[in-house]
Amino acid sequence: MRSRYAMVCSSNQNRSMEAHALLKREGFDVSSYGTGSHVKLPGPSLREPNVYDFGTPYKHMFDELRRKDPDLYKRNGILPMLKRNMSVKLAPQRWQDNSSDGPFDVVLTFEEKVFDMVLEDLNNREQILMKTVLVINLEVKDNHEEAATGAQLALDLCREVFDWLYFMY
Amino acid sequence: MASSRDQALSLLAAANNHGDLAVKLSSLRQARDILLAIDPALASDLLPYLAELQSSPEALVRKSLAETIEELGLKMLEHSCVLMPVLLAFLRDVDSMVAKQSIISGTKIFCRVLEEMTVQLNIRGKIERWLEDMWLSMLKFRENIVTTAMEPGCISTRLLALKFLERYVLLFTPDNNELGKPLPEGGQVFNVSRLSGSHSIIDPVLLMSEAGMILDYLLDMLSMASGLPGCLAIAVINCLASIGRKRPQHFSTVFAALLAFDSNCETGKRYHAASVRYSLRTAFLGFLRCTSPTILESRERLLGTLRAMNAGDAAEQVIRQVEKLARNAERASRDARLVKEDHSSSQISAHGSLIKKRPISQDEEMLAHNLEVASKRGRYIADTNSTFSGQQTADSGHGSTSANGVSPNVSILNGDLSPVEQMIAMIGALLAEGERGAESLEILISKIHPDLLADIVITNMKHLPKIPPPLTRLGKSEVIGQLGSASSPAQVAAPSFLPASSVPSPMSAMQIPYSSASITSESSPEASIVNSVSADSKRDPRRDPRRQDPRLAVPPEAVLPTVVDFGDVQSKLDDFNSNKPQLSAMVGGKTASSPLLSKKKSDDEILGSSLHGTSELIPKEVVQDGFQETKPTAEVGLSSDVAFSSEQITEDDIVKAEDIQMDESETPSNVELDHSPPAVANMAAFEETGKDLPVVPSYIELNGEQEASVRKLLFEQIMESCKHPNGKECGRMGMSLIARLVAQSAAADDLVEMLKNHILEDYQLQKGHELVLEVLYYLYSISGSDSAESSACAVTYEKFLLEMAESLLLKFPASDKSLSRLLGEAPVLPSSVLKLLDDLCNSDISDYHGKSLRDADRVTQGLGAVWSLILGRSHYRQSCLDIALKCALHSQEEIRAKAIRLVANKLFQLSYVAETIEHFAKSMLFSAVNQNASDVEACQPGLNEQLDEGKIGSQNTSSSGSQVPFSEAATFESESIGGAQPLAQGISSLSLSEAQRLISLFFALCMKKPSLLRLVFDAYGQAPRPVKQAVHRHIPVLVRALGSSYSELLQIISDPPQGSENLLMLVLQILTEETVPSPDLITTVKHLYETKLKDVSILIPMLPSFSKSEVLPIFPQMVNLPPDKFQKALAHILQGSAHTGPALTPAEVLVAIHDIVPEKDGVLLKKVMDACSTCFEQRTVFTQQVLAKALNQMVDRTPLPLLFMRTVIQAIDAFPALVDFVMEILSKLVSKQIWKMPKLWVGFLKCVSQTQPHSFGVLLQLPPPQLESSLNKYASLRGPLAAFASQPNIRASLPRMTLSVLGLTSETHVQQPHVASSLASGASSSVHGTTMT
């Protein structure tokens, strides 16, 4: 049976999506989520982030930001990122709201806070499925370069874990 | 129908026998579909065939079968009993995949069966036969899973088994939160609290006690977790955490166990240690999120533990979240109350439910959640507030129709019964059943968790008669006497825990009569309406770590009866025909033989025996808190002996380690009861009402000396045991013990000294460090508390830390990192320790004679420590930074350099201190510039004051105002101008080294941040001479280091502050040294010259890159410069760049000099002459040929340069060989009628006179009048010239007029027109002739 992987970061934009895209390309059964209360993207200044609800399509964000300030968002890599995300899935998903997505075998988080939230959520869930899940935190800074490195590491790790799951379980 | 049956049969056969696995699986699937589709009764016939598949050799088939069984079971529970053995068998399947599936399937069926039974029982009051059978299989299933979980085996299977156990405990522990809620639709979530009444098959009480057992299993597993694989340990922790969170009645047990595990697991070296710790952390954080009051009570401890795990931040975040929720909840409950007030009084009774109902109408999920919390909270608040009404109800009996308007509330409160009350209610119900109930009651009580049992007893005590029975025998009086000495009444409640605490194992059936009796005595109707508050008020003090909290104190009058009532219980116990002698004997026996104690034995043996050996061992008064503590610890002790001790130790109000109570007459095994004897003793006191027991050991107070010696002995023992190679476990405990010992022996230096030596012995093995930290953290935690010894501990803490730090310094070489590590990890750093660091960094390393006082590496060590503190301890950042900065001003250069390296290269990179450093460096620079040395000294130590920018600013402006007049005088390069120097000296008595001390740091910073350089330029103008000198020393290094990135410099250069010209020159000089100045620089400098600074000397460094057309316009200014500068300029001009060659050739230079017109160019003639002289001095450059070339060019000029003749004369002086050439020049001049240019004419004559006899030819070319005048001027020429001219060949060529001037007129005047040409040739030949001679 194919193992299912979940990539989880805060906003389901950069780190988890980078990993999602990569693992998807490599043929993994992978999903991605965010654990924050909202999707936050950098804005013109630190104090003015662009805030969206989970479920807002990437395309929508893309169009809106392109309308707002195409130069800025192109320069800081947000537009290219959103474009990439559009090609991976429709909209960012919130981990806590998508428990029905079914059991994962491996959950990779990219930040300790996210890891904690995933654990908290898992602990609070009604435990019906009785399935074990491996939750791993891979600390990755939230920028494009680190996300790329992190995704590669995530891929390597998932390959290893895949072998392990395959042989041990 | 029949066909589908046949079809199913054939499919099953295929699933069993077919050769291909895929076919088997798909057949099984199809068969399943058919079975699910047809009538259950029909299908049930086929199930035995299905069950046959269990022996299938393929694991996948078996797994699939398990899944099928699950589906069928859930659909047609009634018929699936036949399949249950298959599931049971699969639990032990060789393939873990199958075993896992069977657990999953079994769990689901288990829950389904329970639900079904609840429905049947609650609705019909009985359970059908088939369901009973199912249930029995389920019980077997549970047993098997317990075995699976406990026994070694496949980890993943065990994980699932553990999960099942968790589920089981949750199912069968009453869920308080659910009580008030309506049953969820479909009755999905079963809980034992939904079972009403009991049944022979499914007895809620029994089930609950079994759940307690399962919990105990889990706790046992946790205590052995160090031997478990990591993921199992994590799973156990998660299961327990989940239980603790969801069932607050178990929280304290679980929490204590986890805490014990936490302190225990640090020493273990297992795989996944980090993950295990993380799971603990997650568990604790999960607890923090809970709002249950039981858990809230432990919040402080949770926080403390989390902080110790470095999860303080996360913990605080959680608390904030929770508080936010709570605030919202309060708001919501306020709203609810308002709504309530609007309602008529008849609805008041709905108070509780109202809050609960309201949220249902809300749509917003979030709000609903908040309100849910609110309703819980509200309930608790209601509970506490209703003490009075509860009391009233109790007084007025069970009359629910009481006139009291509040009475309807009672029923609502009843709906929110605490587990204890439920249990009491249940016991009451059982008692009401009479004979039949007694049996169940017995079982129930034997299985009740000790904790719960204790609570039950306490809760019930409230209802005992108020009239004290006569106090009989010594036991009573002693108890009361003891109570009299107790300061907190809370303690009084403690004795009642004893029965429970002495029964750590739920299996100890011996206890039954006693407990049941005590409870039976309470079988009055009141039992069912116990108010939870009374239970809480008595339970709180025990759970609250700060038991001395006065708020929780109950007035003593209220308490004494309680104790006495206990006696009453016992008297009733007699009435109830219980065999008390048996009981007391049992209790007595238990103290010696309880498994807990025997486990504990091995650990304490050393301790106990050593104590036994001393003669000082006199039992001492036991602190009351320890007394109370006994119970929880006993529970923990059950699961782990190590946990026992560590648990006890981690308690705040613990039995003091040395408060060991013992009786010399007792056996060693009794001696080991060091922590629990109070319980035993008191127990004995109580039991003595019925039976004679050994005399109660009396408590004798140790005097200070004895205490000290016991302490010391203990200490030695612990250390001894720690040295043991296998003392790993004990090492951990030993550390904790030592920490406490140190905390108590604040005054005893020898102990600290011993400890120090001990620690230093094996510091390198890391153990020392851990021990020190353990001690420090403990001392710190005490000193932070409100307790009396806190101040003493603070002192001890400081002293200990300081001494440790000093001894580390002494003992280890400077390269050792221990000190840094210690300071980095110690909880707080008192000022004395910072002082130590300061000394380490800032005291001199050598005396005035250069003799080394100490190792310079120590400074490095100190600075290293300071660095790591700045990085890691934000709280001490400022102090440490002060140390580093102070050190960066150290008078000894070696130290200073080290500190500056640290500050500039490392610290300055840190954004959070960079600004401070910059301010400091600036203020030092300014102070050097503006202040007298004494002032500088004065403002050094207080860094913060100097950081006050306003002050700096004002200093700056005021001084710049006053010092402006000096700035020119102090121009440094012109030091040869004598007057300026004394003036500059007068401003400041700074020495050069002092100036360097102050500004070095700033220059180091400039290196990192070139924009600071401007300040140097700004300040330079006003700086006293030593500072300037110091600047001059620093700037070359700096400028070179800045190298290519001198954009900052360019800016400064383009607009240099006033007074900084010399510095600017220096910088330019450095910039152009050995390199070609960049075009930017050249442009900038040129621009500066053209706009602001008219001093051409700034261009000098650029000259090599200038072209001829650029140099020529500024050449006159250059000539006007002082000779040394001109010389430099000249050199640069002639040097040129590699690309373009020199701007001017030497000849061109000479010409340029001569082209200067003093009046027009504003250059003194003297300067021009000096310039010429300068040129002539450089004979290697201005060679004969160069001169000839220059002169040749100049002679053709009209007008002739003013200094031309002078240069000719100088040329001939310098190079006599030029004489022929000069003569040619002179002839040319004659032809140019030189006599018409008076200034040159003089020079011409002088030259002619100096160059005779070579110049005779030229002289003779002069027209006679000019010849005449020249001879008149230089009379000495006449004779030789006449002699020369009278030579026949020359005379012949001379005109008659000339001859007549010479007095040779007698001769004929022939060939007159011929004269000029022949004369010229003749003259030249004659000159040649003379040179030959």
Q: What is the pLDDT of residues B1032-1063, one digit of tens each?
A: 887 777 777 776 556 777 777 777 777 777 78
Among B103, B163, B286, the residue with its CB nearest the CB of A120 is B286
Interface check for B224 against chain A (CB to CB < 8 A): the answer is no
User: Helices B1315-1332 and B1219-1231, interaxial angle, to 10°?
Assistant: 160
Cα–Cα distance measured from residue A110 to residue A104, given in angstroms and rounded to the nearest whole number: 16
Alpha carbon of A124: minimum distance to chain B alpha carbons (Å): 8
Q: Which residue of B has its CA nearest to A125?
A: B242
Cα–Cα distance measured from residue B82 to residue B1141, given in angstroms and rounded to the nearest whole number: 110
Predicted local confidence at residue B852, as pLDDT: 61
Interface check for B111 against chain A (CB to CB < 8 A): the answer is no
Q: Express each pLDDT in B397-436 by its tens digit.
A: 343 333 333 333 333 334 445 667 777 777 777 777 666 6
**Dihedrals phi, psi of B305, to nearest 5 degrees:** -65, -45
Predicted local confidence at residue B1045, as pLDDT: 58
Chain A hits for B242, CB-CB cut-off 8 Å, are 123
Residue type, B770: E
Q: Express each pLDDT in B640-666 by its tens digit.
A: 333 333 334 334 333 343 343 333 333
Mean pLDDT of B1217-1228: 83
Q: Express each pLDDT in B1141-1187 by its tens digit.
A: 777 788 888 888 888 877 777 777 777 788 888 887 877 778 888 88
Residue B78 C-alpha from the chain's centroid: 61
Alpha carbon of A134: minimum distance to chain B alpha carbons (Å): 10
Chain B hits for A127, CB-CB cut-off 8 Å, are 163, 167
How is residue B878 written in tokens? 């400022």
**b/e burial code for range A14-34 (CB count within 10 A of at least 16 → b):** bbbbbbbbbbbeeebebbbbb
Residues paired with A135 in a beta bridge: A107
Taking CA B655 as the corner, what is the angle to CA B654 and CA B661, rounded to the nearest 5 degrees? 175
Contact A120 B289 (CB under 8 A): yes
Predicted local confidence at residue B257, as pLDDT: 87
Predicted local confidence at residue B267, as pLDDT: 52
User: What percentage of chain B reaches a pLDDT higher than 70?
Assistant: 61
Interface check for A136 against chain B (CB to CB < 8 A): the answer is no
Predicted local confidence at residue A43, as pLDDT: 87
Among B524, B517, B512, which residue's Cα sits nearest to residue B432? B524
Mean pLDDT of B677-698: 46
Structural contact between residues B545 and B300, judged by C-beta atoms closer than 8 angstroms: yes
User: What percentage of chain B reaches a pLDDT higher than 90?
Assistant: 0
Contact B156 A116 (CB under 8 A): no
Q: Which of B64, B87, B100, B164 to mutate against chain A (most A CBs within 10 Å)? A: B100
- Give the least confident one: B161-170, B212-221, B812-821, B830-839: B812-821
pLDDT for residue B100 is more than 80: yes
Interface check for B159 against chain A (CB to CB < 8 A): the answer is yes
Structural contact between residues B219 and B260, judged by C-beta atoms closer than 8 angstroms: no
Structural contact between residues B1057 and B1017, judged by C-beta atoms closer than 8 angstroms: yes
Cα–Cα distance measured from residue B1037 to residue B652, given in angstroms and rounded to the nearest whole number: 61
Q: Which residue of B has its CA nearest to A134?
A: B231
Chain A hits for B160, CB-CB cut-off 8 Å, are 130, 132
Q: Which residue of A has its CA nearest to B189?
A: A126
Q: Express each pLDDT in B550-564 by its tens digit.
A: 444 344 433 333 333
Contact A132 B238 (CB under 8 A): no
Contact A123 B241 (CB under 8 A): yes
Interface check for A123 against chain B (CB to CB < 8 A): the answer is yes
Highest mean pLDDT: which of A61-65, B443-447, B820-824, B1264-1268?
Answer: A61-65
Predicted local confidence at residue B1030, as pLDDT: 81
* pLDDT tier for residue B601 given thresholds of 50, 70 and 90: very low
Interface check for A116 against chain B (CB to CB < 8 A): the answer is yes
Top pLDDT among B348 and B1231 is at B1231
Mean pLDDT of B1257-1264: 80
Predicted local confidence at residue B756, as pLDDT: 73
Chain B hits for A130, CB-CB cut-off 8 Å, are 103-104, 107, 160, 163
Interface check for B932 against chain A (CB to CB < 8 A): the answer is no
Among B135, B105, B103, B102, which residue's Cα sits nearest to residue B118? B135
Chain A hits for B159, CB-CB cut-off 8 Å, are 132
Size of interface A-B (CB pairs under 8 A): 29
Mean pLDDT of B134-138: 88
Top pLDDT among B196 and A100 is at A100
Top pLDDT among B1067 and A103 is at A103
Contact B103 A130 (CB under 8 A): yes
The pTM of the whole model exceeds 0.80: no
Top pLDDT among B1202 and B577 is at B1202
Interface check for A120 against chain B (CB to CB < 8 A): the answer is yes
pLDDT for residue B525 is more than 60: no
Taking CA A138 as the corner, what is the angle to CA A135 and CA A142, rounded to the nearest 5 degrees? 125
Q: Does the N-terminal peptide bond of residue B830 adopt cis geometry, omega within 30 degrees of 0?
A: no
Predicted local confidence at residue B611, as pLDDT: 40
Q: Express each pLDDT in B70-92 by its tens digit.
A: 888 888 888 888 888 888 888 88
Question: How would you classify the pairing of strands A39-41 and A50-52?
Answer: antiparallel
Alpha carbon of A126: minimum distance to chain B alpha carbons (Å): 10
Interface check for A132 against chain B (CB to CB < 8 A): the answer is yes
Top pLDDT among B969 and B722 is at B722
Alpha carbon of A115: minimum distance to chain B alpha carbons (Å): 10
- Give the least confident one: B880-884, B959-963, B1026-1030, B1137-1141: B959-963
Q: Which segments of B1215-1252 does DSSP mark as H helices, in order?
A: 1219-1231, 1238-1250
Predicted local confidence at residue B928, as pLDDT: 80
Q: Express each pLDDT in A38-52 by its tens digit.
A: 999 988 888 888 999
Alpha carbon of A79: minimum distance to chain B alpha carbons (Å): 30
**Dihedrals phi, psi of B695, to nearest 5 degrees:** -60, 140
Q: Which of B155, B272, B282, B316 to mutate against chain A (most A CBs within 10 Å)? A: B282
Among B104, B285, B289, the residue with its CB nearest the CB of A130 is B104
**b/e burial code for range B6-15 (CB count within 10 A of at least 16 → b):** eebeebbebb
Among B875, B777, B627, which residue's Cα sits nearest to residue B263? B777
Mean pLDDT of B439-445: 73
pLDDT for residue B186 is more than 80: no
Chain B hits for A123, CB-CB cut-off 8 Å, are 238, 241-242, 245, 282, 286
Alpha carbon of B673: minimum distance to chain A alpha carbons (Å): 40
Predicted local confidence at residue A110, as pLDDT: 94
Q: Express each pLDDT in A55-77 by its tens digit.
A: 999 999 999 999 998 999 998 89
Residues paired with A51 in a beta bridge: A40
- For the CA atoms of B51, B52, B54, B55, what is the dihedral angle to 10 degrees? 170
Q: Which of A38, A111, A130 to mutate against chain B (most B CBs within 10 Å)? A: A130
Q: Express each pLDDT in B1271-1311 by its tens digit.
A: 887 778 778 888 887 777 777 777 777 777 777 765 444 44
Predicted local confidence at residue B693, as pLDDT: 52
Contact A123 B107 (CB under 8 A): no
pLDDT for residue B130 is more than 80: yes
pLDDT for residue B873 is more than 90: no
Contact A130 B285 (CB under 8 A): no
Predicted local confidence at residue B2, as pLDDT: 59
Cα–Cα distance measured from residue B1045 to residue B1055, given in angstroms and rounded to the nearest whole number: 18
Contact A116 B314 (CB under 8 A): yes
Q: Which residue of A has its CA nearest to B242?
A: A123
Predicted local confidence at residue B667, as pLDDT: 38
Contact A120 B285 (CB under 8 A): yes
Mean pLDDT of A75-99: 92
Among B212, B72, B197, B69, which residue's Cα sits nearest to residue B141? B69
Contact B160 A130 (CB under 8 A): yes
Mean pLDDT of B1083-1112: 76
Chain A hits for B107, CB-CB cut-off 8 Å, are 130
- For the CA atoms of B1264, B1269, B1270, B1272, what is the dihedral angle to 10 degrees? 120
Q: Which of A107, A132, A135, A161 to mutate against chain B (most B CBs within 10 Å)? A: A132
Interface check for A100 against chain B (CB to CB < 8 A): the answer is no
Mean pLDDT of B810-838: 78
Q: Express each pLDDT in B588-600 by its tens digit.
A: 333 333 333 334 4
